[in-house]
Structure 1
């Protein structure tokens, strides 16, 4: 099988599912609230590369590529993406993805359910590394044809000019990246954002910091808005600070934005109860992982209060976790910029 549901044991094998899917599977199997979905495994990626002869073509192309030329890398990336776009799946892979997608539709009692298609590389979300954000995510795909195309585009995102340059910088050949893909029900997000189980400004582990805005989390993750900010004390889980953000736009779906009215901008997008409930989940995840984490989340407008918090991703916090002993020596502004650059990378469409 080329697809693995989040609740199956095989979804805990990083080499099969990659970092993002591993985090989703761990949360699912711990009973935490995660939108349902499945992973297209790295086995499908390797099979597609071999069956369509794409791997050899990529090797030949990159062997002659000028790594110092932005234009040259962009041209190589465009050629590789075209190979993935034009290379239909082998029948066995398409059949298995179609079956898993149909099962997801049946589970939600919705035909052609809207899904997020998210890259999940084995190098991504690893402790001590920061490949998060280097590969693509697409939101709002419907039907097996769109799902199939965007699975391949996630695979192709291992070979964007930026991804290749980043891999080479970290001593990794792009062809060595193993890429799985998460296919997950799109959350009808009223609000969404990112939670750190320490302060991203100072590394203070007694605080949980939440940044959120209206709509899907793309505006927060992409740095397109000034989000609301909530600080919760880890001991006692009391809200100790909240700062109103501008929240000028919101993503209705993966591509469409809308202006937020002045009345809604003047109101916090999360209630105090929601912020504390999120912090409780963050504290539980930190305990499970044994180290600070950052978490992407959404508040589903279709679910009742108390059952509407959905966790979208959990990964190790890498900046302060590796520098905690040197917090006092680090300039706070520079440290904040570094940790936020690690997490709030632009999610490209």
Structure 2
């Protein structure tokens, strides 16, 4: 029997060896990562034409597929409705405007819904209240803040309210009068906070049925600090104010009446640095453990750890691999930090270490003329 089995086995082996094999050498991996969208506000004095969209890979940090969403002049700051159906933008020009846009059917373009005057000069910031009922503007040139009601269809209502700031700061070249630079509602919508670079103050307004009450000083900064933006801690009663003129951050407690109590002031620059630099944006990580601030001139992101008592400890400064970092943003999962570099016309991407807070350049970037505001699309 053995002599009969051997020829059969040899025949089976021969057939198997002669069967064609599938060539795997040219097989490409299938891209399974779903890209997300970033909406980019720009200045339009060079090559930009308005508001853009850029695709972002949340696994690699790669940026791609830049497209123009709508032509509009100097849309330097943007805000989204809570459902992502509307986008609001200011025109950072002398007699400015604020626009409401909605998406077209396939979400490839933004279509104007309505617009209103900013009721001041050189608007530089726009924000929505938590329930999308009110829109707040900061007018840098005229030093006033404005609120408008937002209608149920996302259009901007007519009955706007303006509050004029008064006073001076410690630097007469930059602070001869008020310069409102930031407006942000508290998370419960009870207050509107306005940061005024010209008067070295944070002013807060109680909100009642969408209208501003009389303002009070939430925090008086030091002369010539030049406060620009602020960010609240996500879970504790702390707030952090970044100062443009002297490159510092002030940490403060948020008191029950909505005012702030100063804790400390720290520099955003490395020890020994003597060059020109001006702070711009500030953000606290979702876990409340780290704070980031942008340095224009030193061209870096300052990285701080947040201590239990709200104080800040500098971890490092990381080069932005660009020139003049304005706004920056953390990705929704906080794994990446992206920087809009106005003067070098690029957006750069950094991987974030959630244990140390450190940033690591991914070598991912994309060119876009004068980017100044980055918003992840909802």
Structure (1 or 2) with the greater strand fraction: 2
Tell me which of the two structures has the higher relative contact order, counting C-alpha pairs closer than 8 angstroms and 6 or more residues apart.
Answer: 1
Measured against the shorter chain, the TM-score band is under 0.3
Give the greater-gyration-radius structure (CA).
2
TM-score after normalising by structure 2: 0.26
